[in-house]
Amino acid sequence: MKTTLKALSTAAVAALAMTAGAAQAEVKVGMITTLSGGGAGLGIDVRDGFMLAIKQSGRTDIEVVIEDDQRKPDVAVQLADKMVQSEKVDVMTGIIWSNLAMAVVPSVTAQGKFYLSPNAGPSALAGRGCHENYFNVAWQNDNLHEAAGAYANSAGYGKSFILAPNYPAGKDALTGYKRFFEGDLAGELYTKLGQTDYAAEIAQIRASGADSVFFFLPGGMGIAFLKQYADSGVDLPVVGPAFSFDQGILQAVGGAALGVVNTSQWNKDIDNATNAAFVDSFQAEYGRLPSLYASQGFDTANLLISAVEKADVSDADAFRAALKAAEFDSTRGDFAFGDNHHPIQNIYAREVIQEGDVFTNKILGVALENHSDAYAGDCKM
């Protein structure tokens, strides 16, 4: 009799808690990402990966508001203000580009909101400018370039020609490569941002006596460079970060990218159940192979869901601790945050291969194991 009563009252309390939960524990997520203009492919992949994870979780208490920043910092700032002040979101995410992240993230976190970065990882937010409410689920910007430097050592390259666009992330890229590369430089070039013709640079590479080329040219710049490089008759090996070799642009580069080694924290053949299910379900849902950006969006959403399951977003300390614990199944396998809320993870060397008609990547090996970033020491939280 007594036990029945106890059970009944527990059930009643639980029922009460559930109705209360349904009424107020709703989490509102603001996603600002690039859905139009030149870099839209990246934003669309992040969005699709994120929404796939939300859909698979079956949760109805997470509401996502999505807006397009058009890759413009001023638009992103406006949207962020709107989301924080009038939409009253609890968590923000979605920004692709570092310059937009720098314009939005500090003010969002200062207003007590959480920000989960699915892509941009500027060094300023990883070191002195780190914040307890800012979590980066992708990488610190330098990471993939550092891995490229490490790969170049292991491949025995002694004299690299390196180039990147003349803007902050380009400088971070070359710095990252040089931080790990032990050989000499045959040349170092900063190209114009948005440049599409690399004939002049390729001529310099040809004349430089280099034994390898490292380049960071995201998006269309990389497509142009690879096509022109393949046609130039210079046949030095090329390494680069995954940004010029993601699933979205490989088809546009075509055979010119075959065999090129690039570094990434994710690939579709990383062997774990989460990743296999992600690749299959993404293909089934959207009819294309996922890119690393899609995997980052997917992981970001799953991190969020893992925290929502453990803590109420209105209890900021508990929610933060739940995010920090990162107890979710990542498509990358093991995943943990360092003290500056940036990932500690393996970064792989991949090779571009052709599977039937589709160009894609295959993992060659680990370039950097359990890699953190160079700025973590400067972060005092």
Stretch that binds other proteins, among 22-30, 40-48, 83-91, 276-284 (CB under 8 A): 40-48
- The beta-carbon contacts of 189-194 under 8 Å, at least 24 apart in sequence, are 189/161, 189/162, 189/163, 189/164, 190/163, 190/164, 190/165, 190/166, 191/163, 191/164, 191/165, 191/166, 191/217, 191/221, 192/165, 192/166, 193/165, 193/166, 193/167, 194/165, 194/221
CB of 339 to other proteins, least distance (A): 32
- Restricting to residues 205-244, name those near other proteins by CB under 8 A: 206-207, 219-221, 223-224, 227-228, 231-233
The answer to the question of residue 31 lying near other proteins (CB under 8 A) is: no
CB of 360 to other proteins, least distance (A): 14
CB of 48 to other proteins, least distance (A): 11
The answer to the question of residue 259 lying near other proteins (CB under 8 A) is: no
CB of 174 to other proteins, least distance (A): 10
> Which one-letter amino acid corresponds to residue 42?
L
Cβ-based nearer residue to other proteins, 30 or 41: 41
Stretch that binds other proteins, among 1-9, 251-259, 296-304, 322-330 (CB under 8 A): 251-259
- Restricting to residues 183-202, name those near other proteins by CB under 8 A: 188-192, 194, 196-197, 199-200
The answer to the question of residue 36 lying near other proteins (CB under 8 A) is: yes
The answer to the question of residue 283 lying near other proteins (CB under 8 A) is: no
Distances in Å between the Cα of 144 and the Cα atoms of 26, 116, 138, 213 are 36, 19, 11, 15
CB of 125 to other proteins, least distance (A): 24
Cβ-based nearer residue to other proteins, 228 or 281: 228
Q: Contact at 8 Å (CB) between 267 and 363?
A: yes
**How many angstroms separate the CA atoms of 264 and 93, rounded?**
21
Choose, by CB under 8 A, the member of 18, 203, 277, 358 that binds other proteins. 203
Choose, by CB under 8 A, the member of 30, 41, 297, 338 that binds other proteins. 41
- 172 phi, psi to nearest 5 deg: -55, -40
Distances in Å between the Cα of 366 and the Cα atoms of 152, 188, 270, 360 are 13, 26, 11, 18
- Restricting to residues 99-158, name those near other proteins by CB under 8 A: none
Choose, by CB under 8 A, the member of 27, 44, 367, 379 that binds other proteins. 44
**Strand pairing partners for 366?**
348
- Restricting to residues 320-359, name those near other proteins by CB under 8 A: none
Cβ-based nearer residue to other proteins, 129 or 218: 218
The answer to the question of residue 252 lying near other proteins (CB under 8 A) is: yes
CB of 200 to other proteins, least distance (A): 5
Binning the chain into helix, strand and coil, the percentages to the nearest 5 are 45, 20, 30
Strand extents, DSSP E, the chain: 27-33, 62-68, 91-93, 114-117, 134-136, 159-165, 184-191, 212-215, 238-241, 261-264, 336-337, 343-355, 358-371
Cβ-based nearer residue to other proteins, 235 or 271: 235
Burial code (b: 16+ CB inside 10 Å, e: under 16) for 159-170 equals: ebbbbbbeeebb
What residues make contact with other proteins under the rule CB under 8 A? 36-38, 40-41, 44, 166, 188-192, 194, 196-197, 199-200, 203-204, 206-207, 219-221, 223-224, 227-228, 231-233, 248-249, 251-256
